[in-house]
A and B are shown apart, each in its own frame.
Chain A
């Protein structure tokens, strides 16, 4: 009922194309996160779903209805804005009930639904306050309450947590997730924060420069990134990349460092490739490759090390407590099952 289908959607501002044909299938009740660097077109895509931006090409289908030419109010969607966009001259209660008032829902019913939403969000004590008398987190909740009250087919969120402090952001993350588990309303959520995407999404859509780079569950993206962009974008600290080539079943970095590969790479002998390895996939190994330590950052539970390995700056994360110092040599080996190989020219994953 609340499924969303996006088919080859494009957006041009005049002669400038900012979305170059995006297709996404969102099942009813799914929590989908659009993630990507700033300016990649996430908001534009979301606003096209909302009906706030005209669709230059392709089709958007909500609940089995093509909505290309429908007004926002006819699409049965609710949106939470980055700025919250609360009506400053209305109380929390009026803000939350505004859509019902416009929809000519009876006063009694409106009150009932607003109260119910306020209860879910813990906003009951603030119903008579004006937005300016609320903290950032409370405003954020009111913005969500305004969406919940309508019980729409789809929730749209545009970076709803980016104006909150770090601690509140983590808390709201789990609250939004819990809310979704309770209401099971299809949700499209935009963020530039890959951690937010990893922790909240059923399905992540990684966008870059107006195209979709990869769609998958958080762990699919983490374990099998289809290209170097996704590999570098998902995960923190980011994946390390070593440029080099394939030589007799081994990877040879540009400075000559030889890393035997197992399983064998699906690339032709001599091909230029980029090896990707996540920071947590280094192991301490007395027989391993030498890495010159640059900085050491112990966090208690683990130790993050920046070092020079095979002529590249790399970051490694170790569970062990290291007794090494900047300038010293650390011998490490790579977890060969967690090595990613990418075609150096196209950036695409080399699959066996």
Chain B
């Protein structure tokens, strides 16, 4: 008993700091969401207002596409890269370092660079596609309603797949070599090794990384805000950007807070379901 309370004393300073940094803003956001600008209690008015706004459902679906699309490709590309980098080939060290570049570049720099590359008239991408005749006319990547969100997702995938690759690679490198050898003696070819040894062995890493990607995806505004600010016509408006714009462009702090609370609740549910059903792997997990 004595030991327990002593332990508590030791973690107390950290708990106090955590409480101030996390609990206070959460609590204050909750308070803002049920008051008006004068601080008077208004019940669920703010919630009704944000839920009634036309942008809200659109932002919700955009967020779903944004997070879902990003994660699928980040994980597939990241795992494939990791498997590749785990093979023995000359110059592997250099390739490993180069792979990390997108992850190291600051988001705002990457976003601005990509915005220029996708520019309709001056962008290198349209140039490279029109010059050899792949497409006839330049595409307005960032203004076309069918391309703008996929382009955002592509940039996000480019930015984060190295992170997945490095984490999975670390997992792959901890697989004992004799598992591969046993599999080879058992008759496995390379694809069998990937499917029956590598993937099951790095499954816990993939699960954990995916959870991180979900959270980052839900919170990330840098790339989209820097390039399109959610436009055109709200086509790339995701909920965190909607909150940001409500608060700092329209100065509707109370509605922004209400939307934050809803978003927070949905996020918690998503993360909870994820941990409950995916992160809790079957009996074999270590």
Contact = CB atoms under 8 A, between A and B. Distances in A.
Interface in B145-199: 176, 178-179, 181-189, 192, 196-197
Given A85-B181, A87-B179, A102 B200 contact: no
B186 A83 contact: no
Given A50-B185, A51-B185, A85-B176, 7 more contacts: A83-B178, A87-B179, A87-B196, A90-B284, A99-B187, A103-B187, A130-B284
B201 interface: yes
B185 A102 contact: no
Contacts of A83: 176, 178
A133 B201 CA distance: 17
6 contacts: A50-B181, A73-B186, A73-B189, A85-B182, A102-B192, A132-B286
B283 interface: yes
Contacts of A51: 184-185
A71 B284 contact: no
Contacts of B178: 81, 83, 85
Nearest to B281: A89
Contact of A73 (B179, B188, B200, B284): B188
Interface in A16-61: 50-52
Interface string A69-91: 00111000111010101111111
- Interface residue tally on A, bucketed by range: 20 to 34
Interface in A89-129: 89-91, 98-99, 102-103
A146 interface: yes
Nearest to A97: B186
Contacts of B201: 88-89
A83 B176 CA distance: 10
Interface in B218-263: none
Nearest to B181: A52
Contacts of B184: 51-52, 71-73
B182 A79 contact: yes
Nearest to A86: B182
A157 B188 CA distance: 19
B187 A102 contact: yes
A99 to B, nearest CB: 4
Contacts of B176: 83, 85
A182 B152 CA distance: 66
B186 A102 contact: yes
A22 B134 CA distance: 62
B282 to A, nearest CB: 9
A122 to B, nearest CB: 22
A72 B182 CA distance: 10
A96 to B, nearest CB: 10
Given A85-B176, A88-B284, A130-B283, A73 B185 contact: yes
B182 A102 contact: no
A148 to B, nearest CB: 13
Contact of B182 (A71, A81, A130, A150): A81
B187 A89 contact: no
B187 to A, nearest CB: 4
A137 B183 CA distance: 21
Nearest to B177: A85
Nearest to A128: B283
B61 to A, nearest CB: 37
A87 B197 contact: yes
Nearest to A133: B283
A94 to B, nearest CB: 10
Contacts of A99: 185-187
Nearest to B186: A99
A88 B176 CA distance: 11
Given A81-B178, A85-B179, A89-B284, A98 B186 contact: yes
Contacts of B179: 85, 87
Contact of B188 (A88, A102, A130, A133): A102
B185 A72 contact: yes
A146 B181 contact: no
Contacts of B283: 130, 133
Contacts of B187: 73, 99, 102-103
A101 to B, nearest CB: 9
Contact of B181 (A78, A81, A133): A81
B185 A79 contact: yes
Contacts of A50: 181, 185
A99 B186 CA distance: 5
A154 to B, nearest CB: 11
Given A85-B179, A102-B192, A132 B186 contact: no
A64 to B, nearest CB: 20
Interface in B198-220: 200-201, 203
B204 to A, nearest CB: 10
Contacts of A150: 186
Contacts of A71: 184
